[in-house]
Amino acid sequence: MAVTVTMPQLGETVTEGVVLRWAKQVGDTVSEDEVLLEISTDKVDTEIPSPSSGVLQEILVQEGETVAVGAQLAIIGEADGAGAASDSEPESRVQSAAPEMAEQDSSTEPPAPEAPAAAPTPQPVAAAEAAPAATGGGGFTVEMPQLGETVTEGVVLSWAKSVGDAVAEDEVLLEISTDKVDTEIPSPAAGVLQEILVPVGETAQVGTALAIIGSAAGAPAQVVADPVSSGADNVPMTDGATQASPAADANGQSGSLEGSGRGNVSPVVRKLAREANVDLDRVPGTGKNGRITRKDVEAFIASGGQSPAPAAAAPAQPPASPTTPEPTPSSAAPPPPPPPVPAPAATTAPAAASTAPAGEPAPAGQPAPAGDGVEPPEGVPLLAGDRVVALDRLRQRIAKNMILAKTTAAHVWTAVEVDYELVEQIRQKHKADFKAREGFSLTYLPFVARAVVDALAAFPVVNSSIYPDQGKAVYHEARNIGIAIDLNQEGLLVGTVRNADSLRIVGLARNIRAVADRARSGSLEPDDVSGSTFSISNPGPYGSFLTAPIINVPNTAILSTDTVTKRAVVATDTAGNDSIAIRHIGYLGLTWDHRAFDGSTAVLFLQRIKHNLETWDWEQELA
């Protein structure tokens, strides 16, 4: 009697998961409670045991695909059908199928929201059958992956291998540049690079065949028979980043971990370890069966190479904050935390100490690049001493996207003045303990983000995307906040804090800090720069007064948080008496798309944020 394996409920709020790998292939014998496959959710990566003994007759969900709780994963038949199942396996299953480039870090990162590529994931058969099929002219087609929700194409920057070169599974094969990130694409299988279909500098649409990998003559086909994962190593490199040596991967990490739970290390984790010169044998794994996750490596690096205590693998939330999981747009968002209650009315609050240090040095910019050997722009006259420089890819993408946004959205700007005195008092009270506990300063930004999330729920049209040429608008259930991140005056990226409505002040601060650190270290993944539903630009720390940022299309609005400074204002007490008081005052500017909504909505949305910042009892968020 056949037994159907279904997707289990792996947590109270988990509704779906991504199949990371199958430990068994069709025709293999499996014992009860033996590991059958591995699933990744927004909470954990976990191995799923077989519910019964028998033969794996059919795999219903391929590696890299997302499946809902309760969906059928596989069918296990009785053991006496093993021979027939194995013999009937067609050789065509190892012919030119296109492996998927899944976007998630299979260790701890959330699964990507994109649907799988159109071509099916290859299902390798036993090693004895794979060898003749591969050497008989078949191969694996490497396709242009979907590297973000809105990404439709990419430019081939470089090929790490040439035709005829041997390539190992998960070894870097090429580098792709999109309007979001520059990303290394690993090989989906071991073999020989038989053909390069898209040369350097050409643009390829998502799903386009990039190359063909065939089996190496005499190479053991077992490498293809038991793949660990077909996921793509989607960690982008910044301009000028050094490409890691394939030999370092083979000799330094993965080879030393074979045969244990720690051996199933994702390409992203291996790459992070290579770049930091970390020996994975020294890293304590907190995943299933001691598996090493990305957070394990990051904690090891942060500790200076000292093995952290198991309890320190992930910082604990304060009691007042809900659990702050790594969010994903495809998962069901946890219930939003209740907004803080209004603070009790008070007379003029005492002014906090000045945040502007005496004798602060004058701002400094980046020196102009040399520009040696660059031809001047066509038809542009040069002045004496002019230098012509080549724009890097990031600056070219920024230029293209800014013009596209300005010509797409009907930009309008509105601003309000905000009294931050209550927020400032809470910051001053908690800043020392917060920095000691978290390792970074408590700024105004997480307070603003918290107030924004509440306002987006009250004004859902601001959390929408509009497509007037199709006569449609999309109202987003998720509240994913895009944070504009400055890259040391060398560019700008918008990092995404997903499911921000499930986070309180501490969770928002941690997530904002984490995505900013990944952006500045060049370790962003496609999920980090896609999927935002509303954006915040934060020029305030640089001393701005009022800013009108450009909308991050397809968002319909972007908020600017400008400098908070002490000003003399009229303060009214509970008895209605007016007095002059020194308070912390700042401005919030909203650039909004007039195609999506009108001025009344924009002003009321800002007033909601202002009201939240000025009246909520922020103490309960940090107590």
Task: Kindly state the average pLDDT of the residues 354-373.
Answer: 66
- How far is Cα 138 from Cα 96, in angstroms, rounded to an integer? 6
- In a domain, residue 333? The reply is no
- Same domain, yes or no: 11 and 141: no
**What does 589-615 look like in DSSP terms, one character per residue?**
EEEEETTT--HHHHHHHHHHHHHHHHH
Does 430 score more than 90 pLDDT?
yes
pLDDT for res 12: 55
Let me know whether 585 and 519 are in one domain.
Answer: yes
- Does a structural domain hold residue 594? yes
For the stretch 271-322, pLDDT in tens is: 678 777 888 888 887 765 576 777 778 778 877 765 444 443 333 333 343 3
Instruction: State how many domains the chain has.
Output: 4
Helices and strands in the chain, H and E counts: 12, 25
**Among 89, 108, 133, residue at a domain's last position:** 89
Q: Answer yes or no: is 47 within a domain.
A: yes
Task: Calculate the average pLDDT of the chain.
Answer: 76
pLDDT above 60: residue 447: yes
Give the separation between CA 131 and CA 220, rounded to whole angstroms.
7
Residues 257 and 228 in one domain: no
Q: Which of 255, 280, 314 is the last residue of a domain?
A: 314
Task: Examine the domain organization and report whether 222 and 278 are in the same domain.
Answer: no
215 vs 323, more confident:
215
User: Residues 599, 487: one domain?
Assistant: yes
Q: How many CA within 13 A on the CB side of residue 315?
A: 19
**Which of the residues 239, 594, 611, 617 is marked catalytic?**
594
Residues 539 and 496 in one domain: yes
**Poorest-pLDDT segment among 260-274, 452-466, 494-508:** 260-274
pLDDT > 90 fraction of the chain, expressed in percent and rounded: 37
Q: What is the per-residue pLDDT for 154?
A: 85
Domain boundary (38, 69, 89) is at 89
Are both 478 and 597 inside the same structural domain? yes
The answer to whether residues 283 and 256 touch, using CB atoms and an 8 Å cutoff, is: no
- pLDDT tens column, 192-219: 998 999 999 888 888 898 999 987 654 4
In order of 94, 113, 124, 269, 366, the CA distances from 224 in angstroms are 9, 27, 7, 21, 49
Q: Which domain CATH number covers 205?
A: 2.40.50.100
pLDDT score of 284:
84
- Tell whether 458 is covered by a domain: yes
Q: What is the pLDDT of residue 217?
A: 55
pLDDT at 449: 97
The β-bridge partners of 547 are none
Q: What number of CA atoms fall less than 13 Å from residue 229's CA on the CB side? A: 28
Same domain, yes or no, for 592 and 500?
A: yes
Can 593 be counted among the known catalytic residues?
no
Residues 494, 616 within the same domain: yes
| Catalytic choice (469, 593, 598, 617) | 598
Q: Indicate if the pLDDT at residue 250 is higher than 50.
A: no
Q: Which has more pLDDT, 59 or 526?
A: 59
* 198 and 216 share one domain: yes
Indicate whether 508 and 585 sit together in one domain.
yes
Residue 556, classed as helix, strand or coil, is coil
pLDDT, residue 13, reads 57
Distance CA 23, CA 38 (A): 8
Is 594 labeled as catalytic in the residue annotation?
yes
Which pLDDT score, from 0 to 100, does residue 266 have?
58
Structural domain boundaries, residue 115: 92-236
